[in-house]
Structure 1
Amino acid sequence: MLYSLYEAGFYAASPLREAARLTRDFWSSPLNPARDSDIGRRLYANADLFANLTRRYGKPAWHIDSVEIDGHPVRVRPTEEWSSPWCKLTHFARDMADMRRAGRRTREPAVLIAAPLSGHYATLLRGTVEALLQDHEVYITEWTNARDVPVMEGRFDFHDYIDHIRTMLQVLGPRAHVVAVCQPGPPVLAAAALMAEDGDENRPGSMTFMGSPIDARLSPTVTNKLAEERPFTWFQSHMIDTVPPPHPGMGRRVYPGFVQLASFMSMNAEKHQEAHQRYLRQLMEGDGDGAERHLEFYDEYLSVLDLTEEFYLQTVDVVFQRYLLPKGELEHRGRLVRPELIKDIRLLTVEGENDDISGIGQTQAAHDLCSGLTAAFKHDYVQPHVGHYGVFNGARFRDQIYPRVRDLIWEAELALSRTPANTGKAKDEKAA
């Protein structure tokens, strides 16, 4: 019912939204002699704000056409490497001719970025991708909006996520590296543990967890406390709705993205109000740069996707209520997940000092779970003065966090190249 009301509200606001767009266009037209008057700027600013707040935000574009490597521009082309109805594995392929001009003549390590399936699109990790492209072949999981998947495609749950990660690592080939940002931490660790137990040659060479709720019992945040305080049945009855027509997934039960967005915004309601008031002033004062930065952030932040009912509820149950992974009780397809069996996958955990989503200690818990790793294989870093978003985006990520991720990956690559099975392969690649 809630989803239908949301859709009805969107369409009911269409006349007002169109009127706001016409007003905005009229008062911003260079043919309007009063466009720079005080009343003109005020009318334009208020109409623009209303039009932006009430419009529908689709999946953002990547806008990664090139990167600069060692002072040389390198063209980048996103390509689909593998897909299922629920996910597309995107490879940011760098132009090899440009790479040679930049002095890079050998294939660099493959890295799978496991993007969160928690309400936002993978493009939220644009800064993460751009940083990793400096030294790696970068792949990322682009999860599908559940409302766009027809019911006949079946279910997608927590265990399907684990299977997808394992499949994509197999697509990348032996000893690729995985970077899990936020929510994917538990299922990625589970996939790595299962692959290690099976002796899978495609198990990752390293795994990096950034702001992940590996053990949500530690340093609980507002989000964690909400999951603890509410019974599981509350989430079933209050957070799930049915996708209405005309969406392709009509009839599917989902956790709507707009509900998740409302939850996030309510946690920092005053900051969002201040941001929009500041945007209004910037428009009235003609501060185009400040207004553009505001739009860039909210075009991404307000773009959300739906999660399937089963995936959302299992995540609440497994990760935030019963804590099955840190308690050693998580089973996948009838098998107990045993992180202690991981022996040769290097581990890095990254946390933010001011993270209000995953508190300090929740990601570090991976070190205790991976008890089979020696101290030399384990690395931990807490970034001062950043919140959750700053763990994987922004200046401090680029300058202080990314170099640690890069060093871990290259440390793993160096160790792998020295193993007997890879010595001959390394010599062949060097000769080529």
Structure 2
Amino acid sequence: MDRMSYQLYEMMHLAFAPARAATDAMLHAMKNPLNPLHHTSFGRSVAASAELFERMTRRYGKPLFGLDTTTVDGVEVEIVEEIVWTRPFCGLLHFNRQFVGRAPKQSKLLIVAPMSGHYATLLRGTVEAFLPTHDVYITDWNDSRTVPLVDGAFDLDDYIDYLCDIMRFLAPSVTETPVHTLGVCQASVPLISAIAAMEAENDPDVPESMVLIGGPIDTRVNPTAVNKLADQRGIDWFRRHCIHTVPFPHAGMGRQVYPGFLQLSGFMSMNFERHISAHLEMFNHLVEGDGDSAEKHRDFYDEYLAVMDLTAEFYLQTVDRVFIRHEVPLGLFRHRGNLIDLKAIKRTALFAVEGEKDDISGVGQTEAALELCANIPAARKSHYVQKGVGHYGVFNGSRFREQIAPRIRAFAAEMERIDGVGAVRPRLAWSAE
């Protein structure tokens, strides 16, 4: 029965299509200002009910970043999004700022979005915060149900390979422009592993710094409900209950995946009462004619309810090796058969950022990277815990913009200026011009 869940989900989605069409027609009729009922409480209630039904039965597509402009040195600059590097499961998205005249000398920032169910657009606020000060790139992961079987598998080894290739593509040895990296949540593990693999080979293209935000480096520290669930269930349970086959007519038909709709049910169940309350509030806002509040609700849930499938091999390896067997802190994590030694990291600076109320990656799990990367000089390592924020707030929202992002910018600038013993670094001298 579990293996049929994806097919049943597709059938239910199709079965609701006529009802969605009818409620959509009713919604437009009740919103028409020429309709006398539009101006009544009854009409607004019917319209609100129709909208909520349509939204609750809709399949949400990939959102847009929608970052059209930014302000650099007091001047508004247009942004053009462009994919500059691509593989079957990922595109590297560049937010190309269209300067008039000579562009300012700014470092590159590679934001590694988590491949954990939501699209990279979940980090819209993260990207926006750095556009004025950095040349920003982000990993734009593809929905696995859209990737044909002929394009092969995607696992943790492939994830690390992708990051190594991207960092070489952006390499400071080629452009003389420093590259900083920022890994959010799940992305912290493959990012630190990719840098360790490059350092072990004495690769000249290692980045100047890595910022790990709310990452599960050592989930034995201050374990959360998510961590405990993985330990209690065991990998066989996840394999039996979470893996399904992509059905027709998707391009990835036949691929084994952890479906987005299952992930979403897990997300929703963690705070079910809050989500019910939020939708009831939206209903009241619509009836009362409070369009601004209703629009904020739409924006949030358009993003939150847009989910993507993950390949089975990547999902199961992550659960097993990161959350159950704790291979990273135990020094047992391997890439293509080679042991990943975090002590190999010497040149790339490290900044661990955590949220005080993070219920996904507990405080201390990301900080563990500082001790594991024992050969990074103390002057090039830092740790910060943001008071009063949970998992989402550690990379988005007002406290991120006002407290966390400025610290990340300051850390990156300082690491460009000095080496591990406080000496000015000649190859980065341009940054002080």
> Under TM normalisation by the shorter chain, which class is it?
over 0.9
Deviation at 1:68, TM superposition (A): 2.1
The answer for the alignment partner of 1:8 in structure 2 is 11
Output the amino acid matched with 1:64.
L
The match for 1:113 is 111
In the TM superposition, residue 344 of structure 1 has moved relative to its aligned partner by: 1.9
Report the secondary structure of 1:92's partner residue. Answer: strand
Pairing 1:331–2:334 present: yes
Counterpart in 2 of 1:241? 244
Give me the whole-angstrom Cα distance separating, in 1, the residues matched to 2:286 and 2:376: 55
CA distance in 1, matches of 2:428, 2:118: 39
Pair 1:419 & 2:425 matched: yes
Task: Show the 5 A alignment for 1:243-262.
Answer: 243-262=246-265
Aligned to 2:159: 161
**8 Å Cα contact 2:71/2:132 also seen in 1:** yes
| C-alpha contact 1:346 1:408 (8 A) present in aligned 2 | no
2:175 aligned residue: none
Work out the CA distance in 2 between the residues paired with 1:374 and 1:153. 41
Query: Is residue 386 of structure 1 aligned with residue 392 of structure 2?
Result: no
Task: Report how far residue 415 of structure 1 moved.
Answer: 2.7
Of 54, 57, 64, the residue aligned with 1:54 is: 57
For residue 144 of structure 1, what is the aligned residue in structure 2? 142
d(CA) in 1 for partners of 2:427, 2:239:
50
Q: Identify the match of residue 86 of structure 2 among 83, 87, 109.
A: 83
Query: Is contact 2:247-2:253 (8 Å) kept?
Result: yes
Amino acid at match of 1:405: I
Please, which of 205, 217, 221 is the counterpart of residue 220 of structure 2?
217
Structure 2 CA distance, aligned partners of 1:337 and 1:62? Answer: 34
Query: Matched residue of 2:82: which SS?
Result: strand
Matching residue of 1:128: 126
2:30 is aligned with 1:24: no
CA drift of 1:419 comes to 3.3
Shift of 1:30: 1.4
Listed one character per residue, the Cα deviations across residues 346-371 of structure 1 (whole Å, up to 9, x for unaligned) are: 11111111111110011101101101
Instruction: Give the CA deviation at 1:106.
Output: 3.2
Distance 1:362 1:193 in 2: 18
CA contact (8 A) 2:417 2:428 kept: no
2:366 matches 1:373: no
1:341 corresponding residue in structure 2: 344
Distance 1:72 1:137 in 2: 16
Partner deviation per Cα, 1:307-347 (whole Å, 9 max, x = no partner): 00000000001100001011001111121101112112111
Alpha-carbon distance between aligned partners in 2 of 1:346 and 1:223, rounded to the nearest angstrom: 29
Hey, what's the Cα distance between the residues in 2 that align with 1:304 and 1:70?
36
SS class of match (1:183)? helix
Shift of 1:306: 0.3
SS of equivalent residue, structure 1 residue 35 = helix
- Deviations 1:144-179 (CA, angstroms, capped at 9, x unpaired): 100000001110001110110111001111251110
Does 2:74 correspond to 1:64?
no
Q: Distance in 2 between matches of 1:239 and 1:209?
A: 28
> Counterpart of 1:188?
191
SS of structure 2 residue aligned to 1:34: helix
User: What is aligned with 1:273?
Assistant: 276
Q: Which letter maps to 1:164?
A: Y
TM-score by length of 2: 0.95
Partner amino acid, structure 2, of 1:56: R
Provide Cα deviations, 1:235-294, integer angstroms capped at 9, x if missing partner.
111000000011000000000011111101100001101000000000000000000000
What letter corresponds to residue 419 of structure 1 in structure 2? R
CA distance in 2, matches of 1:219, 1:50: 40
Q: What secondary structure is seen at the aligned counterpart in 1 of 2:396?
A: coil
Question: Please, which runs of 5 or more residues in structure 2 have no aligned partner?
Answer: 173-177
Q: Is 1:292 equivalent to 2:295 in the alignment?
A: yes
1:95-142, Cα deviation, whole Å (9 max, x unpaired) = 1217x5xxxx53210010000000000000000000011100000000
Cα separation, 1, equivalents of 2:397 and 2:186: 19
Structure 2 distance, partners of 1:43, 1:209, is: 47
CA RMSD of aligned residues (A): 1.5
Q: Matches of 1:201 and 1:422 in 2, distance apart?
A: 15
Asked if 1:172 is matched to 2:170, the reply is yes
Shift of 1:420: 4.7
Which amino acid in the other structure matches residue 162 of structure 2? H
1:406 aligns with 2:401: no
In the alignment of these two chains, the number of paired residues is 422
State the one-letter code of the partner of 2:49. N
Distance 1:243 1:330 in 2: 30
1:306 aligns with 2:312: no
Alignment of 1:198-217 (within 5 A): 198-217=201-220
Q: Contact conserved, 1:109 with 1:413, CA < 8 A, in 2?
A: no
User: 1:356 matched to which residue of 2?
Assistant: 359
User: For the Cα contact (< 8 Å) 2:111–2:181, is it kept in 1?
Assistant: yes
Letter in 2 for 1:27: M
**How far apart are 1:70 and its partner, in Å?**
3.6
Q: Which amino acid aligns with 2:179?
A: A
Question: In the aligned structure 2, how far is the partner of 1:412 from the partner of 1:260?
Answer: 38
SS of corresponding position for 2:248: coil
Query: Is this contact kept in 2: 1:242–1:252, CA < 8 A?
Result: yes
Tell me the CA shift for residue 71 of structure 1.
Answer: 3.1
Question: Secondary structure in 1 aligned to 2:36?
Answer: coil
Distance 2:225 2:266 in 1: 11
Conserved in 1, the CA contact under 8 Å of 2:416 and 2:425? no
Contact 1:158–1:187 (8 Å) recurs in 2: yes
Distance 1:162 1:204 in 2: 14
Secondary structure of the residue aligned to 1:177 is strand
What runs of 5+ residues in structure 1 fail to find an aligned partner? none
Residue 69 of structure 1: how far off its partner (Å): 2.8
